[in-house]
């Protein structure tokens, strides 16, 4: 139902190819993280899975091409968390989360009590019930990120796409946001595809990593297979040490040249 398979995906913006012959499979309930230097095409792959960009090749969800879904049908399957979600000033947290119910409503439909209840319960589950009537522009960076996750969850889609979920957060908030996503993934069997810059965090939370360079996948595998000193040195032009941590993956540490 919520497995993803991508074959020979090519994306070009005004003639410039940003993703070229991209292939990857993500099983239901798995977390795949796309890593790679700036401009590698990570965000474009996420946008293709949500059918937000025109592409060549094939992107299937549960065996059906995303281009064959109706817009609302697809939105009930795939929820996307943008890197910097638009948060209209003055809109309350509850109202923002309520918009996540849109895929379940008709074109001119109104939210039912059930929709309002889902908003309340989702906010409570993430411990944000107290923020319900707070305007979005009064939130801290960490709160905004969690509110955006609540909105995506209210969509009740089995596939969650996340673009740089931790880019503007401090190290503690980064951890708590990723723990939260991981917990929700196992509780609700969500399939997660994320684009991440932080290689250590990407390796600690994702089941598999896909390393992208200039629109191509150069390697797909477990964090142990992908996060190696030679690979990072080659593709990021970075000098790093990869340190094994006892039982919690590996850390990628930059070394001053």
Partner 1 sequence: MLGVGVRVRQVAVSGLPSLPWIWAAAGVAALVVSCAIGVLAGPVHIAPASVVVALFGGAVDPGQANILWSLRFPRVVLGLLVGGMLAVAGAAYQGVFRNPLADPYLLGAAAGANLGATLAIAWVPGTTLVGVNVVPLAAFAGAGAAVAGAYALGRTVAGLRSTTGLILAGVAVAAFFNSIQIYVQQSQTSSIRQVYSWILGRLSTAGWDGVLLVLPYVLLSAAVILLHRRLLDALSLGDDEVSNLGISVRRVRLIVVVAATLGTAAVVAVGGTIAFVGLIIPHTVRLLAGRSYRVVVPLSLLFGGGFLVLADTAARTMLAPAELPIGVITAFVGAPFFIAVMRSRRVAAL
Binding site for partner 1 (CB under 8 A): 47, 50, 52, 70-76, 78-80, 82, 85-86, 88-95, 98-100, 102-103, 105, 107-111, 113-114, 116-123, 132-134, 137, 153, 155-156, 158, 188
Identify which of residues 78 and 201 has a Cβ nearer to partner 1 in the complex: 78
Measured from the CB of residue 134, what is the shortest distance to partner 1 in angstroms? 7
> Among all chains, which residue has been given the structure tokens 């996307």?
80
Identify which of residues 13 and 245 has a Cβ nearer to partner 1 in the complex: 13
Measured from the CB of residue 247, what is the shortest distance to partner 1 in angstroms? 31
> Distance (Å, rounded) from C-alpha 235 to C-alpha 35?
11
Please enumerate in sequence order all residues whose Cβ is within 8 A of that of 161, keeping only pairs 6 or more positions apart, or say none.
Answer: 46, 49, 50, 78, 79, 80, 81, 192, 193, 194
Identify which of residues 114 and 183 has a Cβ nearer to partner 1 in the complex: 114
> Among all chains, which residue has been given the structure tokens 């398979």?
5
Identify which of residues 159 and 252 has a Cβ nearer to partner 1 in the complex: 159
Measured from the CB of residue 77, what is the shortest distance to partner 1 in angstroms? 10
Any alpha helices (H) in the chain, and if so which ranges?
Answer: 42-49, 71-75, 93-99, 113-125, 141-154, 171-188, 199-205, 223-226, 229-236
Identify which of residues 180 and 227 has a Cβ nearer to partner 1 in the complex: 180
> Distance (Å, rounded) from C-alpha 242 to C-alpha 115?
47
Any alpha helices (H) in 138-255, and if so which ranges?
Answer: 141-154, 171-188, 199-205, 223-226, 229-236
Measured from the CB of residue 19, what is the shortest distance to partner 1 in angstroms? 16
Measured from the CB of residue 1, what is the shortest distance to partner 1 in angstroms? 10
Measured from the CB of residue 248, what is the shortest distance to partner 1 in angstroms? 29
Identify which of residues 21 and 92 has a Cβ nearer to partner 1 in the complex: 92
Distance of CA 157 to the CA centre of its chain: 13
């Amino acid at each position: 139902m919520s497995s993803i398979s991508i074959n020979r995906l090519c994306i070009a913006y005004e003639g410039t190819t940003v993703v070229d012959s991209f292939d990857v499979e993500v099983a239901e309930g798995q977390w795949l993280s796309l890593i790679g230097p700036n401009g590698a095409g990570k965000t474009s792959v996420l946008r293709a899975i949500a059918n937000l960009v025109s592409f060549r090749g094939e992107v299937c969800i549960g065996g059906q091409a995303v281009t064959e879904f109706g817009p609302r049908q697809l939105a009930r399957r795939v929820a996307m968390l943008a890197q910097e979600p638009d948060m209209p000033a003055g809109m309350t947290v509850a109202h923002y989360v309520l918009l996540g119910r849109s895929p379940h409503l008709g074109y001119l439909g109104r939210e039912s009590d059930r929709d309002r209840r889902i908003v309340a319960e989702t906010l409570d589950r993430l411990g944000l019930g107290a923020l319900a009537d707070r305007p979005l522009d009064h939130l801290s960076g960490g709160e905004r990120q969690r509110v955006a996750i609540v909105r995506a969850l209210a969509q009740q889609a089995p596939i969650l796409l996340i673009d740089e979920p931790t880019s503007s957060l401090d190290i503690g908030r980064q951890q708590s946001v990723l723990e939260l996503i991981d917990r929700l993934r196992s509780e609700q069997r969500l399939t997660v595809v994320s684009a991440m810059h932080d290689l250590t965090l990407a390796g600690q939370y994702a089941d598999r990593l896909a390393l992208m360079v200039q629109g191509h996948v150069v390697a797909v595998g477990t964090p142990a297979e992908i996060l190696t000193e030679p690979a990072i040195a080659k593709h990021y032009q970075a000098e790093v040490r990869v340190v094994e941590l006892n039982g919690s993956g590996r850390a990628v540490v930059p070394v001053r040249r």
